[in-house]
Amino acid sequence: MADLQDLAELRAEVRDRLREHAAHAPPATGAHEPMDYETGPELRSWIERLRAGRWLCLSWPTRFGGRGLDAFACMAVNEEFARAGVPRPALGMGETLLAPAILQHGTEEQQERLLPRILAGDDVYCQGFSEPEAGSDLARLRTRGVVDGDRVRITGEKIWQSGAHNANRVFLLCRTDPDAPRHRGISYVVLDMAAGGVRVEPIRMMTGDHGFNHLLFDDAVASLDDVIGGLNNGWKVAMTTLGAERAGHITSQYLGYERELTDLVRRLAQLDRLDASATERMVDVYAQVQLMRFTGRRVADEMAAGRSAQVLQAIDKINWSELHLEMGLLAAELLGVDGITRPAEDGYRLTPLQRVLLESPGRRIARGSNQIQRTIIAERVLGLPR
């Protein structure tokens, strides 16, 4: 763990760089994170500036273009960007989810071959874990991987693949030993989606976007060199990916909710609807945002002490996803017709708060459904029977 002096110097460096370059940055969004996964020219230009300054892939070893920062230093950088109202976008799931698995379980050859292409933006990844009929239970996956010489032939389907319509590669789980116990016989495979045998079917959402997708694999072929962690060891590798998915911006995500709450207060004031009743409800939401803030700090403290923070992360995940749903419903109620309609002359473009209303129900499923998170808390904290 970086010491306090090092963290202070790092924060000062970030502030200096942001003062120099922030005028070129697009404004940070709220917590709604639009699910269309489209990158406009302004954001692409900002990503190039961050790439040139080595503010992407912060935790990667320096030999792969990163800064070699530990989790706490990464949190410090994310906090400074968030407080400045400036986005620090990641290079998609390749950086945030696949790279931690490659760094921990991949061979040196895999690291040297795959990581630079992620940093350069040559490869854009989507995640192939969830399947129809499997719910949140990854061990029920039915996608098959048949070893054929030095290749794996993959047949099956995946559902709810975020950003797959813009990806050229996918990291997926497939069952390569059908006779093994549930959590064994699974392999973690990287697949070139342009090599054939992969069909992407976009799923239209309530917002009108097509951010989610349905992937179908019909004898798609991957090299054994692209099996991360070795054959039939995919469950262990997948746990690394899921851990990275749930921990990333734990200490700074509350700031996105604060921005959305501020936006709601501003709109209510413009419409002269910020009366005593609305203000009281805003205070309650603000208190919940601060609860999220301090839960994030507790997670960081547990990690700093070398203790598992899985249960706290489960609590945090329930808190922020349920709060987002509450915020969306509250905005629609308090804003009235202005909260749920858009004029035809602007093409019915959704406001950020309308996106919260329509996208927040899915947040209770993403990153592990809230039912699963409650089971973790019940069994591991309360000691209830399975």
- Residues annotated as catalytic (active site), given as ranges: 245
Name residues whose C-beta falls within 8 Å of residue 149's C-beta, 6 or more positions apart in sequence: none
The residue length of the chain stands at 386
Q: SS3 of 156, please?
A: strand
In one-letter notation, the amino acid at residue 5 is: Q
Measured at the alpha carbon of residue 155, what is the angle toward residues 151 and 156, in degrees to the nearest 5? Answer: 145
Token pair belonging to 96: 């945030």
Residue 3 CA neighbour count, 13 Å, CB half: 1
Please report where in the chains the tokens 């202070």 appear, as a residue.
8
| Residues 249 and 31 sit within 8 Å (Cβ to Cβ) | no
Residue 366: how many CB atoms within 10 A of its CB?
Answer: 17
Whether the CB-CB separation of 232 and 177 falls below 8 Å is answered with yes
Burial of 166-191, coded b for 16+ CB within 10 Å and e otherwise, reads: bbebbbbbbbbeeeeeeeebbbbbbb
- Contact between 329 and 361 under an 8 Å Cβ cutoff? The reply is no
How many CA atoms, within 13 angstroms, populate the side-chain half-sphere of residue 305? 9
Q: Which residue has the tokens 């798609």?
A: 220
What DSSP element (H or E) covers 231?
none
State phi, psi for 169 to the nearest 5 degrees: -140, 155
Residues 6+ apart with CB under 8 A from 244: 96, 97, 100, 101
Structure tokens that stand for 82 in this block: 């968030």
Candidates 133, 124, 137; CA nearest to 156 is 133
Separation of alpha carbons 283 and 293, rounded Å: 15
Residue 89 tokens, joined:
């976008």
Interacting residues of 20 by C-beta distance below 8 A, sequence separation 6+: none
